[in-house]
Structures are given as C-alpha cells and as structure tokens.
Structure 1
Amino acid sequence: MARFLTIIAAIFIWSGSASAQTKVGLVLPLEGSVAVPAKRMEFGAMLAAGTLRDEMRVKLVSGGCDDEEIDNKIATLKKADVDIVVGPPCFSGALAIARGLNQDGGKSVPVIALSTRSSGMERARSYDGLPIFEISPPARSEAATVVQNILPRFNGEPFAIVDDGSVYGRGLADAVRLAADEAGLRAVANENFRPLQRSQVGLVRRLAAAGAKAVFIAAEPEDVLTITRDIFQYQPTWQVAGGEAARLVPFLEGANRLRDGLLAIRLSELKLLPDAQLGNGVDMERLDVEDSLILGYIAIQIASTQANKESGLLGNSFDTVIGPIRFSADGRASVQAFEPIVMRGGEWQPLP
C-alpha cells in the first residue's frame, strides 16, 4: 500500500507545470541497512507532497549513502534542475550532494539531511560555504545525554569507555570522554576492540584488570549485545550502557537471553499537533505514524516553500504538523531530544 501511494504521488507531482513550483529532490537509500526507515521517510514525504502538489514537484532518487554511486545521483538531480534536496540520512552523502550541486557558481541548492547528527556540518557550512542543513538533534547531544543521564547510574563505580574504532564509535567515545572529563568524571580505562566477534571475553578481562566495574560501549548493536552478554556472565555486578545505536539490541538474535539492566538512550517520539492531518483523505486511525514518516513529511513541508529559492532556510519559521520549525545559525533544526532507557523483559522502558 505504501509503495503504491508513493509511486502514484511521485508520478502525479512530477507532472504538470513547473513554472511556479519548487522542484524538490528526494534522496533516500531504499535498499540496504537503512532501507526500512528510509522507506518510511519516503512514504511520509510523498504524503506531504500529495497535499502540496500545487506548490511543488518531487524527483525521487534512490540511494545517496553509497559513495560509488553518488556521482550518478548528483547528475540525476542536476538534470532535474532541483531547487532543494531532502535527504539522505547519512552525512557523507548529503555533503557530496551539496558539493556537487553548488560547485559551478550557479543557483544555490540547499540540502536538508535527515537525522545524521554529524559534527562535520559546521565545517561544511563555515569553511566550505555549502548550503547544507540538518533536521536532527545537535551533534553532541548524544554524548551530553550519556554523561548527564547514564554515567550517574554507575553510582560512582569506576567505569571504562570502549569503542569499535568506527567513525560513529570513536566519535561518540571521544565526545563522551571529553564531556565526562568536563563534568569531573574520568574513565579508568579507554579501550577499543575488534568488532563483530563471537566473544569479547578478552576485552572484559582487560577492563577488569584496569579496575573497571561499569562500561559504556560506543559501538553498533551487534557488539553491544556481545559485550553485554559476556559482562553479565563473567562480571554480573557491573553496570553496562550503550549509545543510541544500542536501541536495536532487542531485535537481534540472542537478545532475549539477556537479563534486565542494559542502559541506553533513544530519541523522544515526535508528537503531531492535535489537529494534524497527514495527507488528504488519510485515515489517521489506521496510519502507522512513527518518527521516520513524520521526518519525511515535515522535510517536504519545509522544502515546498518559495522561501528556499529566494533567501534560503535561515531566518524563516516553517509551519509543520509538529509545530513551527526554525533552523539555527549552525544549520540545524532540533526537533527531538534524547532520553535514557533501560531494557527489561526484552523491551526498552523509560528510565525512571
């Protein structure tokens, strides 16, 4: 049903007169590891596009997170002569698109990345002068939430920070370490590990030797699960926590055998205005409204305005189904905050 509506909306909106319409490029990776939320973003975007068909047209481009194909995506967007781009939900792709569309000295084409939270956006805007924006929490808010809401749950026990060496893991670990130091909380050990191993008992032994009795894991959910399982088996009194990526742990094979207690953080749910309607004739009672769909919807609401052609996104307030949104001077529109959670009975629950 969702794909049917998406295809109909795309065909309908890309037809008709373009003289007064904003041409929007919608770039989402509809295959691969982030395909599920990307397709929900696409569905939300097309619902919005269906209600705004007099103001805009949408060019859907599948991809945007694969560096090997990004040049083809940029060429497609150039051929469509888009005025603004929404997506993709990965900063490297959004940055490449912003560079590719704004390097010839022609019209400025803003790019709105969705939920990437990259600290590289400041440099792209300040030093490269690129019109790149994000709808996401601030880049360092994940680390700040860990330090403010998770580390105090270690009850003063000596803790370690470990990461998988990836861009995400290392960046989060460094940010948590810095924020913790500023708060007077110093880790007794900082370790990295080889990801995607069947066992991390060796890591647990190193942490124990360093005197740790609690661990924060900056890694992908598969490694959070493995390390947590080994800690719960060999050091059952330790506290264990992960970042936002750990929210996917309950969906992994073997997670149902974990005992209660793993800590993590997640983004608070987006809330629609009481009278919000997502599309013409849409049965809101039957529609599965979740954050990815809402992100796609509000991004198209913002992108459809004529202000994007004239003065850009800064300095304007945009009415959306979740309320007014304004981009700050750093190019971000923060629409969600992080909240601490704990896994109980195989499910995440708010941390009291």
Structure 2
Amino acid sequence: MKKGYALHLSALALLAGTGLARAEEIRIAVAGPMTGAVASIGEQLKNGAELAAQAINNKGGVNGNTIKIVVYDDACDPKQAVAVANRIVAEGIKFVDGHACSGSSIPASEVYAEADVLMMSPASSNPAMTDKAAEQGWSTIMRLYGRDDAQGKFIGPWIKQHYGTKKIAILHDKSAYGKGLADVVKASLNAAGVKEVIYEGINAGEKDYTAVVNRLKSLGVEFLYFGGYHTEAGLIMRQAADQNYKFQLMMGDSLATPEYASVAGPGAEGTLFTFPPDARGSDTAKEALAQFKQIGFEPEGFTLFSYATVQAIAGGIAKAGKADPKAVAKTLREITVDTVIGPVSFDQKGDIKDPRYDINIWKGGTYSKLSQ
C-alpha cells in the first residue's frame, strides 16, 4: 500500500470516529400502544411521528442529519413500558416520542431519566410524571401536552354551570390516567360546592358493565364524568342504551378516536369530552394535512401532538447544535419552537406552557367542537 493512500484512509477513519465523515442518523423512538385495547392511539403516534420525520428530512434534516423513527409497542401496560424503555436505552436511542398512557409514561420515565434519554410525551397527562421528574432533578422528562390538573380546572366550572343541579356521578378505570383525571375533576367540582352522588372505580377490560349501568340507574344519575378510555366508556354507553337509560356522559381527551362510536353505537350520540383546540383548522397544519391526505390517514386525536413532538425534539437539537439529550432539554426550556399545533414553549418542569381546551360533542358518528 502506498504511504499517501494509507494516510488518506487514516484521515477518513478519524473523521468517521468524530462523526464528521458523513451525516449521522438521529433515531427517535415512538413508544405507545401499537396493540391492545387502545391501539388506535398508538397508530396516531406512529403516523404523526413518521410524517414529521419525513417532512424534516425532505427539508435537509437537522443540522444535515436525518431523522429515523423506530416504533416500540408498550400495549399501554406499565410492565411492558418499562421493558420497552430498557430496550430503547440498550439500543442507544437518545430521544423518545412517547409514551401515550400515563400508566406507561410514569414508570418508563425513571428508566429514561437514569440513562439521560429525552422522553417527551405527546399524550400523557397525569401531573405525577413531570412533578416527580422535577422533584428528582430529572431534566430530560418532558411532555408536549396539557396536564390533568389544567384540564380539571377548565372543566369543573363548566360542569357546575351546566349540570350543577343534576345528580352527578364520577367513575374511573383505576389507571394512572383515568383516576388521575377523575380525581382533579372531583376536586374542582367539590371546591365549587358540587358533590357527586357516587365516586368509584370500575374494572377495566371487562365486557359486561350491566352492573355499573344498573347502579347508576338506581341512583338516578343524570350526568356521569368518567376518567378512562373509549373502550370501557363505549360499552357502558351501549349497555345503557340497551336499557333505554339516558344520561349525559362527559370524559377527557381519550375519546378523540373514531373507535368510540364503533364501540358505543347509538350510545355515543351527545357524548361530551375535552380536548385541546383542533389544529387541523389552522394554517400551521396545512403542509402536514397534505401529507396525511396522501397516505389516507385522518390526523385526529394525538396524531398532530406526536408530529409536533418530533418537531420540538428536532428544533431543540438544531438550536443546541448537538444531539445531546440534556443539552436539548435545557434548550427547549429556553426557546419557542414552531410546530404543527402552533408555537410551543416549556416551563422548568418540562410541561407545555398555557395549555388550552375545547369541549367536543359526538354526533352522527363523529365529533366536533361544541358551540357554546
């Protein structure tokens, strides 16, 4: 081998070792329920992340580096979520778009924090996730979504104004998400002087909720707030409709999926739920909507929040000048990032600032903003 040629190869090897020889691939894990009862939410996260990465890569990537999305299934199960988190860490991935369910995000966040991996949830709303992170000094745990306490403070006064004189029941599915949301709604109502006739947990995953329906009926419940997911809510409403028992159901943001109408049948009609303002009607989402139209996917629910999460992570990396999770987390607390849902900024806990909500209503197999 000629001496000059050997030196040339050595130089290339050195550049490769420093990451300067070629553009690197920034891997972002999407962790959520790709299977199981709430797999529709996982599909939303996956499609949102993949199309965000596609758009960013088509514009030159992040500081010349491309984004690659790697999908992991936690089935909305805490134990599986921890296993997924450990796998993501072992595979050297430094950024996570997920998890979706609070019951998954909270235990998984400990794994990510210890490994200095940046986890940004586009859907988990239980305050405990970022509260614990702040208490422990875990800077890489964030969320691009509103907290339950913000949602509860928003909806409590509204329920009092419109249903405060009715017989109100509050149920939950015993999950970190469902019970957490039911607790803050209960606290908000009680503080406003409204007392529920019953506050209980139900067993998630069952197929027959006739006993629950009968209990509500015997108490004369006229308004039910349920903290949980669309699967159980849909069955409760379908089985109530079978008995010609009508009451007003209201829930949180988990109801933003077309599967609710499929499960609930005629019982879905008139159901109310809270959700952040729909970005699909904003100028910031026009380019993304064209992408989703090409693949025939309607970007409802948490889709655009997952899209925005990838945008936020990419924006943080670009501003920090390096794909270092701690540096990116610090940077994101100091800047505003333009995303598909609009400009986004974070507080020192890692929570999105100034979350807003609308009240939506199910009619004719779909939902839309309630005219108030």
Q: Give runs of aligned pairs for residues 80-159 of structure 1, distance below 5 A.
A: 82=94, 85-90=95-100, 91-92=105-106, 95-102=109-116, 110-131=118-139, 132-150=141-159, 152-154=161-163, 156-159=165-168
1:326 is aligned, of 341, 345, 349, to 345
Kept after mapping to 2: 8 A contact 1:147/1:180: yes
CA RMSD of aligned residues (A): 3.5
Matched, 1:73 2:88: yes
Kept after mapping to 2: 8 A contact 1:162/1:190: yes
**What are the Cα deviations for residues 241-279 of structure 1, in whole angstroms up to 9, with x where unaligned?**
222223336545453333632222233212687487859
Matched, 1:292 2:303: yes
Partners of 1:349 and 1:274 lie apart in 2 by: 18
Q: TM-score, normalised by structure 2?
A: 0.73
Q: Which has the higher helix share?
A: 2
Kept after mapping to 1: 8 A contact 2:125/2:147: yes
Kept after mapping to 2: 8 A contact 1:246/1:264: yes
Matched, 1:303 2:316: yes
Partners of 1:265 and 1:157 lie apart in 2 by: 20
Partner of 1:37: 44
**Structure 2 residue identity aligned to 1:29:** A
Cα–Cα, structure 1 residues 212 and 266, in superposed 2: closer, same or farther, change >3 Å?
same
**What are the Cα deviations for residues 39-64 of structure 1, in whole angstroms up to 9, with x where unaligned?**
21222123213324360343543327
Partners of 1:54 and 1:222 lie apart in 2 by: 39
Kept after mapping to 2: 8 A contact 1:22/1:305: no
Kept after mapping to 2: 8 A contact 1:137/1:333: yes
1:28 is aligned, of 16, 27, 30, to 30
Partners of 2:290 and 2:360 lie apart in 1 by: 32
Matched, 1:348 2:367: yes
Partners of 1:240 and 1:283 lie apart in 2 by: 34
Partners of 1:154 and 1:231 lie apart in 2 by: 20
Structure 1's consecutive aligned runs of 4 or more residues displaced over 6 angstroms after TM superposition are: 20-23, 282-285
Percent pairwise identity: 18
Partner of 1:5: none
**Structure 2 residue identity aligned to 1:295:** A
Partners of 2:258 and 2:96 lie apart in 1 by: 29
User: What's the CA shift for 1:67?
Assistant: 2.1
Partner of 2:195: 186
User: What's the CA shift for 1:340?
Assistant: 1.2
- In structure 2, the gaps of 5 or more residues are 1-15, 75-80
Cα–Cα, structure 1 residues 192 and 251, in superposed 2: closer, same or farther, change >3 Å?
closer
Kept after mapping to 1: 8 A contact 2:238/2:265: no
Kept after mapping to 1: 8 A contact 2:235/2:263: no
User: What's the CA shift for 1:26?
Assistant: 0.6
Q: Which stretch shows the higher mean deviation, 168-177 or 333-342? A: 333-342
Cα–Cα, structure 1 residues 52 and 46, in superposed 2: closer, same or farther, change >3 Å?
same
Give the count of matched residue pairs.
Answer: 325
Q: Which stretch shows the higher mean deviation, 199-208 or 68-77? A: 199-208
User: What's the CA shift for 1:176?
Assistant: 1.1
